C-alpha cells in the first residue's frame, strides 16, 4: 500500500516529460497535485485533464492546481508554494523536477547560459525545498522532498558543464537537507534517471541512428521511460520508503555500472 491517498504534492516542470509522468502517477495514487509550469498553459491544462481522468479511473477524486511560475525566480517560487498550500490546505510532497541543459565547450559557455542552468536546476530546487521545509516545520508535520537528479550527478558530462555541476550539487543538496531535517520527519531523496525518452532529448530520440548509439552505452540496451521514473518517485514519496533518506536512486538500465568493463579488460 503506497498510502498516498489525500496527500498534497507540488511537482515542478510538470507539464512535459518526466514531470508530467510523475503528475499522472501521483494522481493515480490518489494524491492532490499542483502542476507547476513555466510558459505553456495548454500543456499544463492537458496534463491536468489527463491526471484527473487517470485518478478517476483508479477510483479517486483528486484536487489539482495549475501553478505557473519560473523556479529560478524567488518571488515565483514563494507564490507557487503558497498557492499550493492555500489550495490544498498544506503540502506533504515536493518533487523538484524542472530542469534545463545547454551545450557548449566548457571554455566557451556564455556566463548567462551557465548561470541560467544553475539557477533553474540547482538554485530553483533549493528555493522550492526551502519554502516546503519552512511550511512543514511551521505545521510540525512530516514531509517528503524528491529531487530529479541525473546519472550526471556522478558521470562527468563534457560539453554540458553547467548541467553536470547542477546535478552533482543536487546530490549533495539531497544529502545535506536529509541530514539536517531527518529528526523532524522530513525525508529528502533523489532519483537519477539515465537516458530517458522525453522532449529534452529530442536531438536523439527522434533519430533511430542516434538513438541506437545512445542505447549501445546502456547495459540493458534501451532508453528508459518517464513512467519508469515516476514509479520510483511514487515509491520514495510513500510510506513504503519511510526509512529511506539522503539517497539517490539511479534508474538507468545499468548506465552507471561502467558498461565498457563488461568483458574482462586486464589480466
State the catalytic residues: 163
Residue 23 binds ligand NAD, judged by CB under 6 A: no
Instruction: Measure CA 224 to chain center.
Output: 15
Q: What angle do CA 26, 256, 23 make, to 5 degrees?
A: 10
The least CB distance from residue 17 to ligand NAD, in Å, is: 2
Residue 168 binds ligand NAD, judged by CB under 6 A: no
Q: Which of residues 132-151 bind ligand NAD (CB under 6 A)?
A: 148, 150
Q: Is 186 helix (H, G, I), strand (E, B) or coil?
A: strand
Residue 10 binds ligand NAD, judged by CB under 6 A: no
Residue 46 binds ligand NAD, judged by CB under 6 A: no
Among 10, 11, 17, 55, binds ligand NAD (CB under 6 A): 17
Residues 186 and 145: beta-carbon distance below 8 Å: yes
Q: Which three cell numbers stand for residue 13?
A: 516542470
Task: Report which DSSP code applies to 169.
Answer: H
Among 8, 97, 162, 238, binds ligand NAD (CB under 6 A): 97
Among 4, 7, 8, 19, binds ligand NAD (CB under 6 A): 19
The least CB distance from residue 149 to ligand NAD, in Å, is: 7
Q: Which of residues 200-219 bind ligand NAD (CB under 6 A)?
A: 200-201
Based on CB atoms, which residue is closest to ligand NAD, 3 or 258? 258
Q: Is 201 helix (H, G, I), strand (E, B) or coil?
A: helix
Residues 9 and 95: beta-carbon distance below 8 Å: yes
Which spans in 40-139 are helix H? 41-57, 74-88, 111-118, 124-139
CA distance linking residue 92 with residue 9, whole number of Å: 6
- Per CB under 6 A, residues contacting ligand NAD are 12-13, 15-19, 36, 38, 70-72, 97-100, 120, 124, 148, 150, 193, 195-196, 198-201
Amino acid at each position: 500500500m503506497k498510502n498516498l491517498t489525500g496527500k498534497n504534492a507540488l511537482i515542478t516542470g510538470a507539464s512535459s516529460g518526466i514531470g508530467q509522468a510523475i503528475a499522472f502517477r501521483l494522481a493515480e495514487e490518489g494524491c492532490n497535485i499542483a502542476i507547476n509550469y513555466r510558459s505553456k498553459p495548454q500543456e499544463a491544462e492537458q496534463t491536468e485533464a489527463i491526471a484527473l481522468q487517470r485518478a478517476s479511473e483508479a477510483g479517486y477524486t483528486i484536487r489539482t492546481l495549475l501553478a505557473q511560475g519560473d523556479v529560478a525566480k524567488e518571488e515565483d517560487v514563494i507564490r507557487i508554494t503558497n498557492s499550493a498550500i492555500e489550495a490544498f490546505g498544506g503540502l506533504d510532497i515536493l518533487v523538484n523536477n524542472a530542469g534545463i541543459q545547454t551545450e557548449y565547450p566548457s571554455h566557451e559557455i556564455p556566463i548567462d547560459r551557465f548561470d541560467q542552468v544553475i539557477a533553474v536546476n540547482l538554485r530553483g530546487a533549493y528555493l522550492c525545498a526551502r519554502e516546503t521545509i519552512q511550511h512543514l516545520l511551521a505545521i510540525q508535520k512530516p514531509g517528503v522532498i524528491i529531487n530529479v537528479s541525473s546519472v550526471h550527478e556522478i558521470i562527468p558530462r563534457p560539453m554540458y558543464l553547467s548541467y553536470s555541476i547542477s546535478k552533482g550539487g543536487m546530490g549533495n543538496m539531497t544529502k545535506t537537507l536529509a541530514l539536517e531535517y531527518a529528526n523532524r520527519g522530513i525525508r529528502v531523496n533523489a532519483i537519477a534517471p539515465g537516458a530517458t525518452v522525453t522532449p529534452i532529448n529530442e536531438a536523439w530520440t527522434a533519430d533511430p541512428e542516434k538513438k541506437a548509439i545512445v542505447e549501445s552505452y546502456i547495459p540493458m540496451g534501451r532508453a528508459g521511460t518517464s513512467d519508469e521514473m515516476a514509479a520510483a518517485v511514487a515509491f520514495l514519496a510513500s510510506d513504503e520508503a519511510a526509512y529511506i533518506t539522503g539517497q539517490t536512486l539511479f534508474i538507468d538500465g545499468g548506465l552507471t555500472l561502467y558498461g565498457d568493463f563488461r568483458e574482462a579488460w586486464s589480466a
